[in-house]
Chains A and B, each alone.
Chain A
Amino acid sequence: MRKLMPWVAHLVLVLGIVVVVGPFVYMILTSLTSDNFSLPNPTKLLNSEKSLDNYFEAWNKNHFSQYFLNSLFIAVITMVLSLSLASMTAYAFARFPFPGKEFMFRMFLFSMFVPAILNIIPQFTIIKSLGLVDTYSGLILLYISTGVVGSTFFLRGFFERIPAELEESIVMDGGNRWTIFRSIYIPLSLPAIGTLGIFAFSGTWDEFIVALTLIKTESNRTLPIALQLFRGQYATYYGLFFAASTMALLPIIIIFIIFQKQFVNPNLSEGGVKG
């Protein structure tokens, strides 16, 4: 019995992996076979010749590469700006006393419970009145603003765990709040900020509805829209669509593998965001 347990446990995990990874394997195998005019069945997938043709074709088709780079640009900018903004806001809630703080925080939290999709109409009106429709500035502004609440929620708990005594050495050296923030809170929370970075990047990379509403010019579109177009226009070119999908997944997977050692869970007592 004792010797059996490790075997059973490993078997459970491996069976689980088959379910988890199976769909991805199917996707990658299909993306490597060309001349698919009907959905290929597994026998055909395993026996047919493999090539990267679909990848080259998809990359050059339909401005896919352009949309890929657009999305990369938007996701990176959004990630950097929203991390900066969120850490400042979280610091304000974690280490400053001011009247109405908890009420304000509760109000922030409450907004997370309400379905966000309909907000898009008033948001669109505001972006329009700022003259930012069809611009990346408008899109990024909206991504950052709608992300502040969740990220602040996530980071505040981490900042509050850092002992306030650490600040004393900085104060003795004549440093102000900004120095404390920059040289204590940011470096000590890097794992949390890294985790948040992954969430921010993947959220933006995947975002669909806002981009569809805001961006009108064809060359400015983002990757999710490109994928949807592929699905529509090349409905039966399965290999092509799956090659495009695989390329769309790569950046996130690479980022996650790089940062996964730093990956942390949100502070329970203060909550966090779902990735």
Chain B
Amino acid sequence: MNKAIKQYVQVAPYLALGFIMTCIFVLYPLIKGVYISFFEYKVINPSQSLFLGWANYIKVFHDPIIYIALRNTLLFALVTVPLQWAFGILVAMVINLQFIRFKVFFRLVYYLPVISSWIVVSYLFQFLFADGSSGVVNYLLVDFFHLRDEPIAWLQNTWSANIVIWLLSVWKGVGWVMIMYLAALQSVPRSLYEAAAIDGAKGARTFIHITLPLMRPMTVYVLINLIIGAFQAFIQVFLITKGGPLDSTHLLNTYMFKHAFQYFDFGYAAAISVMLGLLIFIFTYSQQRTFGKDRIEY
């Protein structure tokens, strides 16, 4: 027991501040969020909040828009995660090829969307996909490539609006996947490829049998981050469609935000938030257990 106290005294100067701040501003709000989800919560006067039991959760299952938001959230993950991953790894592999010149330049340019502000690029895409012939994308489709006769009202329809949101998210995320894989690829010893070449392995086979297995820890890490990012996506929908038209492009996250800050129904919003947290936990659980244990030795 004495030893434990001594250890705590030693570590305290380094740990205490970070630990206390995390407890107050991250862990406490988390627990409080779960607590709020059982109430009809009054922000102005919390003591007058009404205990509802499971009512908010029952309401979640009877809310038709929840199912639309759930569908959009799942589709968003299903579309953006594989696309970001595939394009990201493709760009990384190509840049990593021996004969490619200006590697630093390519890396920088592909990373630009990642460091750009979400607000700027969300509004930028809103303009690019503007209705009528004034939007650049419509201009290209109709007047330039003649692929369509009529301009598309991108943001007025559920599916075309969803496509805009997906495109933006993939466009912004590819560079991050690329930079992760570039770093990982650089740590693969060249001798492995030379050995494979001597054994007669060619491009695609080398990629499938050597590169991909060696990248496994990175792939797990990248996929977990992409999945969490997809389920927590918020700002692009919030800024571009605000969930419209007719609440049909909401993600669980934006729908929750609407209930909290537009209807001030914090209890219900908290219940949605808890359900979303559970969903993320389920989808990443199998990876989480190996996460942190996977090390590769060459």
**A residues adjacent to B (C-beta < 8 A):** 5-6, 9-10, 12-13, 16-17, 19-21, 23-24, 26-27, 38-42, 85-86, 88-89, 91-93, 96-99, 104, 107-108, 111-123, 125-126, 141-142, 144-146, 148-149, 152, 177-178, 181, 198, 202, 205-206, 208, 224, 227-228, 231, 238, 241-242, 245, 248-249, 252-253, 256-257, 260, 263-266, 268-272, 274-275
**Which chain B residues border A88 with CB–CB below 8 Å?**
13-15, 17-18
Report chain A residues within 8 Å CB of B276. 115
Q: How far apart are the CA atoms of A115 and B140 in the complex, in Å?
A: 38
The closest CB in chain B to the CB of A17 belongs to: B109
Binding site for A on B (CB under 8 A): 4, 7-8, 10-11, 13-15, 17-19, 21-22, 24-30, 32-33, 36, 43, 46, 90-91, 94-95, 97, 99-101, 104, 106-121, 123-125, 127-128, 130, 133-136, 139-140, 143-144, 171, 174-176, 179-180, 183-184, 217-218, 221, 225, 228-229, 231-232, 234-235, 253, 256-257, 260, 266, 269-270, 273, 276-277, 280-281, 284, 291-295
Which of B10, B112, B135, B269 touches A20 (beta carbons < 8 Å)?
A: B112
List the A residue with the shortest CB-CB distance to B127.
A39
Nearest residue, chain A, Cβ from B229:
A274
B127 and A42 form a contact (CB under 8 A): no
Q: Across the interface, which residues of B come within 8 angstroms of A178, CB to CB? A: 13
Contact of A12 among B46, B94, B183, B235 (CB under 8 A): B94
Contact B273 A92 (CB under 8 A): no
Decide if B134 touches A121 in the complex (CB within 8 Å): no
When the two chains form their complex, are residues A208 and B123 in contact, meaning their CB atoms are under 8 A apart? Answer: no
Number of A-B contacts (CB under 8 A): 249
Distance in angstroms between the alpha carbons of A141 and B21 in the assembled complex: 9
Question: Contact between A20 and B113 (Cβ–Cβ < 8 Å)?
Answer: yes
Are the C-beta atoms of B124 and A245 separated by less than 8 Å? yes
- Measured between beta carbons, the chain A residues less than 8 angstroms from B7 are 96-99
In the bound complex, do residue A257 and residue B30 qualify as a contact, i.e. CB atoms below 8 Å apart? no
B46 / chain A contacts, CB cutoff of 8 Å: 125
Assuming the contacts A118-B273, A248-B120, asked whether A98 and B18 have C-beta atoms less than 8 A apart, the reply is no
Q: Which residues of A contact B174 (CB under 8 A)?
A: 20
Given contacts A13-B91, A41-B136, contact A269 B273 (CB under 8 A): no
CB–CB B120/A122 < 8 A: no
Contacting residues, chain A, for B95 (C-beta < 8 A):
13
A205 CA / B112 CA spacing, docked (Å): 15
A107 to B19, CA, bound (A): 11
Cβ contact within 8 Å between A116 and B232: yes
Q: A13-B95, A20-B110 are in contact. Are A118 and B26 (CB under 8 A)?
A: no
In the bound complex, how far is the Cα of B134 from the Cα of A164, in angstroms?
62
Q: 29 A-B contacts, Cβ less than 8 Å apart?
A: A5-B99, A9-B100, A24-B116, A42-B140, A88-B15, A89-B14, A89-B15, A93-B15, A99-B4, A111-B26, A115-B280, A117-B253, A119-B25, A122-B36, A141-B25, A146-B25, A149-B26, A181-B14, A205-B117, A208-B118, A208-B235, A227-B117, A241-B123, A245-B120, A252-B117, A265-B179, A265-B180, A268-B221, A275-B114
Distance in angstroms between the alpha carbons of A121 and B127 in the assembled complex: 32
